[in-house]
Structure 1
Amino acid sequence: MSFKFEKLIIWQKSMDFGEDINAIIKEFPKHEIYNLSSQILRASDSVALNISEGSIEQSNAEFNRFLGYSVRSIAEVVTCLHKARRRNYMTVQEFDKLYKDCFDMMNMIIAFKSKLK
């Protein structure tokens, strides 16, 4: 037995992504715990949360709306990644990997959205 959203690759990838972000913020300075660390973790978790929440909606239009929220959360994560990189909280390699993950997830969600219309 499983929920419909658990079968979606975009949900699975967003779940993994949230865990990757959680691991990286453990290296951020302690003074960022209630600022950048909290913000990037909430935004990254929001991607999967909105996919799952939207999947239970009765209409494709509603699901599309929640997928849009996921894309917006990805944009927020990207900005947080840039902030973290500028503050030297992560390496260029870590930034590049997470940035690519964001780009790939965003494109997957947008493609999925277009199939729902």
Structure 2
Amino acid sequence: MKIQKHQDLIVWQKAMDTAMLVFEITKTFPVEERYSLTDQMRRASRSVAAQISEAWRRRRYRAAFVNKMNEAEGEAAEMQTHIEIARRCHYLSDSTAADLDSAYEEIISMLVNMSSHLEKWCP
């Protein structure tokens, strides 16, 4: 399949699916976390997909593409930290935290792979 837009990228699809999962899961967080951990997790999870979208549109410029992919990778790593905090606060079960962490590990791996093989993604 030829990728014509960022929505065709599997990594973007996984980032969006995971962001929506984070949105649903954080609905169960305590009200006192609404303006802190809940917001941080929702923002970072959405940013992963947004950075991938922006990277795709900037792929004519390899340095810009790599920069945006690195930003997406950073946001995904940030999510892994938020997930661990939520687990330690007992807002997430161990299994849910492990599933989310695994999803972000897969996203990070895909982003690193794309950044390492620019010839596949950049004209």
The normalised TM-score by structure 1 is: 0.94
Shift of 1:95: 0.5
Picking from 51, 74, 77, the partner of 1:75 is 77
**2:47 corresponding residue in structure 1:** 46
1:67-106 residue CA offsets vs partner (Å, 9 max, x unmatched): 0000000111011011100100011110010011011110
Q: 1:51-70 counterparts in 2 under 5 A?
A: 51-57=52-58, 58-70=60-72
The runs of 4+ residues in structure 1 deviating greater than 4 Å are none
> Gapped runs of 5+ residues in structure 1?
none
Q: Please, what is the CA RMSD of the aligned residues?
A: 1.3
Q: Equivalents in 2 of 1:97, 1:14: separation in Å?
A: 14
Q: Equivalents in 1 of 2:9, 2:91: separation in Å?
A: 32
> Gapped runs of 5+ residues in structure 2?
none
Identical residues among aligned pairs (%): 33
The normalised TM-score by structure 2 is: 0.90
Does structure 1 residue 32 correspond to structure 2 residue 24? no
Q: Equivalents in 2 of 1:4, 1:115: separation in Å?
A: 18
1:33-71 residue CA offsets vs partner (Å, 9 max, x unmatched): 000000011001000000101111131221111000000
The count of residues paired between Structure 1 and Structure 2 equals 116
